[in-house]
Amino acid sequence: MGKRRIKTSDAPAAVGPYSQGIRAGDLIFVSGQLPMGPDGELITGDIAKATARSLQNVRAVLAAAGASMSNVVKVTVFLSDMADFAAMNEVYKEYFTEPYPARAAIAVKTLPKGAPLEIEAIAVRE
């Protein structure tokens, strides 16, 4: 089982020594997606818009691997402020359907570029 890099212009380019995503066999690992458009513009003031942008990026990386949000089995959400959890959750539920993926939501001190959240995902191609 080899690994293959996933790359798309529909999500922000990797800004360090990592890939937007990696496919290894039937598994797809989507790197943490900040709330940035492909142009690199960061959304900070509105957690709902920031969550939507991060999830759109996750969706774009999955699409580049031939998968969709319905293939996601695990999500990790990193929040710079746990007070944003409820607002993030309202947007998050618009991107997934039953059975929802397993998820962890973790409060962290800071995120790259001062982002309010970062979302990573693992998916399985069927």
Determine contact, residues 11/28, Cβ cutoff 8 Å. no
Cα separation, 3 vs 88, in Å, equals: 32
Q: Give, for all 126 residues of the chain, the pLDDT tens digit.
A: 689 999 999 999 987 899 999 999 999 999 999 999 999 899 999 999 999 999 999 999 999 999 999 999 999 999 999 999 999 999 999 999 999 999 999 999 999 999 999 999 999 987
Render pLDDT for 81-99 as a digit per residue (tens, 0 to 9): 999 999 999 999 999 999 9
Domains of the chain: residue spans and CATH: 3-124 (3.30.1330.40)
**Gap between the Cα atoms of 117 and 101, Å rounded:** 18
Q: Which of 97, 4, 119 minimizes the C-alpha distance to 51?
A: 119
Which pTM value belongs to this model? 0.96
